[in-house]
Amino acid sequence: MKNITYTKTGDEGKTSLIGGLRVAKFDDRVEAYGTVDELSAFIGVLYDQEGVTDEMKSVLDTIQNKLFTIESHFALDENSEVKKMIPVLTAEDVAFVEHEIDVMNAQLPELKSFVIPGGNLKASHSHVCRTVCRRAERQGWRLAAQHPVDSVDLKYLNRLSDYFFVLSRFFAFLDKVGENNWESNR
């Protein structure tokens, strides 16, 4: 792949989708794939935290690769022939995330209250991933109102935000940091 530092092609407020179609940088497709990219960047920050195990890193690697596929879907000119070359997410990808949630949940105490983000850096970064993932999902649904979007992509994002919530609880549990539960009378 050619090493490109800058192209200057976006200086007028437009960018190219996969397939070459030029759109405004505030186009719903750009917002959607940009938010998924932001999520992947935050996952990278979480990945690099001390105490994230190799097994967790393997799961996060898989997730980032699936997110890149979703980014490609969101960035695609639906009339482009390139569409045939981009992989798709499957029900098995969603099931993989569900399995990871179930494994962690089996070790966690019962959830009895809303959890306020915090506890330690890993838990906090997981909550940031969760909230950015929720925004990516909302952007995906906004995009789906205007353009074709694979429902599995949206389901994956929905499940992924659940994963990051449970992962935040799991980090607090492993590090023996009490959860900061919401106190409605406070």
Average pLDDT, the chain: 86
Instruction: State percent of the chain over pLDDT 90.
Output: 55
| pLDDT the model gives residue 10 | 61
The CATH number, out of the four listed (1.20.1200.10, 3.10.20.740, 3.40.50.300, 3.40.640.10), of the domain defined by the range 14-178 = 1.20.1200.10
| pLDDT the model gives residue 118 | 76
As a residue count, the chain comes to 186
Of 30, 32, 70, 45, the closest CA to residue 164 belongs to 45
With beta carbons less than 8 A apart as the criterion, state whether 23 and 17 touch. yes
* Cα(95)–Cα(74) distance, integer angstroms: 22
DSSP H helices in the chain: 28-47, 54-74, 91-105, 121-144, 151-174
What is the model's pTM? 0.87
Q: Which two tokens stand for residue 131?
A: 């909230």
The structural domains of the chain, with segments of one domain joined by +, span: 14-178
